[in-house]
Amino acid sequence: MGDETRLECPQCGAPVWLPEYADLVECPYCGSTLVRHEGQRPVDKGETTAQAERRTLRSVSCPQCAGPLDVREGRRVLRCRSCGTRVAVGAQGGFSRWFIPAGVDRSQAAGNAVVWLRAHPGLSRAARRAHLEGAELFYLPMWEYRTLLAGWEFGRSLRTRAETVKAFPGGLFGSSSGEQAERLQLELVEEPVAEARLQERRFYQAAADFEALGATRPRLSGRELLLPLLAGELDPDSVVLEAQGTAAEVAEKGRHAALTPLSSATSPDVHLFPFRESVALLYYPLWSVRFRARGGTCRVLVDGRDGSINSGFAPAANTKRIVLLGLQALVAAGVAAFLVWLGATGAAHRATMIILAVIVFIAGVAPLRRFRGEAEVEYHEPFSG
């Protein structure tokens, strides 16, 4: 959860607060766009070198009119928002930070959570009547690695080829009437593979422990609306989770994933080359909606972008399962008793009846041993994680 650092605007000297999760801030007094400067300034008394590095800001205002520049990911040509002048900037290292704007407000998130509690199967009656306790907006950090990939994959693949062949009359497969018969012949053929690749590849990785929150990693298509993360842009009541890991680690993993061959060729000869690689940190909105129920608490995590249910936890309904299991055990015991009675009264097949009775009894009662009362139902959005 981000600590705020008090800094000074290099343009007007006004105090500026920059949370740890952000690299960009707009000066509330002069409107200059300020970025966290990686360079080092003279170390003040009582502070470390790292603190001196972190506490420096640099203005990225327009050299023509001093207006704010439209800072964009991966762009080295920035446009002034005031006069439209384009400015070329030096090469940037590191990564950029973006956030996905929340398209769902608190009441919509609570409404969607209530609908889920009422409709999801297996929940207790108390869970369905739970009372809303509160909702909190979280921003979950996710690493995104993007690259363009150019190259070729060569190799060979095996394919089944179907061919209709005519059989000789009177032969092994021929008809006795002398007419030519046809049969389907299947054979494995080897084909060359030469596939060109010039495409974008993306790799996503959670930058925080989503499981601690009970969430699963949301799906991203790469076409979501992303806004540059400026300090103060996010809801001040929201909780921004601290990002873990480094851009270099993500880039290495992403590159490894991107260079995985796509063709189905056996023993492929792969020549793939990544270019225009970039790493970004995306902050994803997620509502955590809490309910109070008679048998415990319910928690539903609602996707802050589209309102879908990411994950849900609520007390489970056990009564129905217990009744069904009890009935099953009773029936099994009754059948077993009947078989024992048959074995005891009849002279023939006595041993067989006893064995059958034991088998039926074990089959009927064994599920009781495995039965565990489920405290809660846990749901996670499919195809994510």
Partner 1 sequence: MVCSQCGGALEGGDDATVFVCSNCGAAHELGEEGLVVFPAWTAAMTTELAVGGPVHYLPFWQEEVTVTALPDCAWERLRRLTAPQDPHLYVPAFSLRRPVVQLLGVRLTEMQPFLDLSLGLRPQAAGGQLELGHPANPFTPVVISRADARTLCHFVYLAFEAHKSRELRSVDYDLVPKGEELVFIPAVWDPRQIHEANWRVLLREFDDLVA
Residues at the site binding partner 1, with contacts judged by CB under 8 A: 75-77, 86-88, 90-91, 148, 150-152, 154-156, 192-194, 196-199, 269, 271, 273-276
Least Å distance, CB 188 to partner 1, is 17
Least Å distance, CB 242 to partner 1, is 32
Amino acid at 273: F
The answer to whether 202 touches 145, Cβ cutoff 8 Å, is: yes
Token pair in block for residue 198: 């010039």
Nearer to partner 1, 85 or 318 (CB): 85
At which residue do the structure tokens 């952000």 appear?
Answer: 22
Least Å distance, CB 165 to partner 1, is 25
Nearer to partner 1, 7 or 193 (CB): 193
Nearby residues of 362 by Cβ (< 8 Å), 6 or more positions away: none
Token pair in block for residue 166: 């005519």
Beta bridge partners of residue 36, listed in sequence order: 57
Work out whether strand 57-59 and strand 33-36 pair parallel, antiparallel, or are unpaired: antiparallel
Nearer to partner 1, 155 or 304 (CB): 155
Of 41, 39, 5, give the one whose Cα is nearest residue 22: 5
Least Å distance, CB 96 to partner 1, is 17
Nearby residues of 20 by Cβ (< 8 Å), 6 or more positions away: 2, 3, 4, 5, 242
- Per-residue burial over 147-177, b = 16 or more CB atoms within 10 Å of its CB, e = otherwise: bbbeebbebeeeeeeeeeeeeeeeeeeeeee
Nearer to partner 1, 192 or 236 (CB): 192
Burial of 220 (0-12, 13-18, 19+ CB in 10 A): middle
Nearer to partner 1, 118 or 276 (CB): 276
Nearer to partner 1, 211 or 269 (CB): 269
Token pair in block for residue 9: 């605007």
Nearer to partner 1, 150 or 181 (CB): 150
Nearer to partner 1, 152 or 371 (CB): 152
Phi, psi (deg, nearest 5) at residue 328: -60, -45
Helices (H), strands (E): how many in the chain? Answer: 7, 18
Least Å distance, CB 226 to partner 1, is 16
- Helix axis angle for 319-345 and 350-370, nearest 10°, is 170
Least Å distance, CB 48 to partner 1, is 30
Least Å distance, CB 197 to partner 1, is 8
Least Å distance, CB 15 to partner 1, is 32
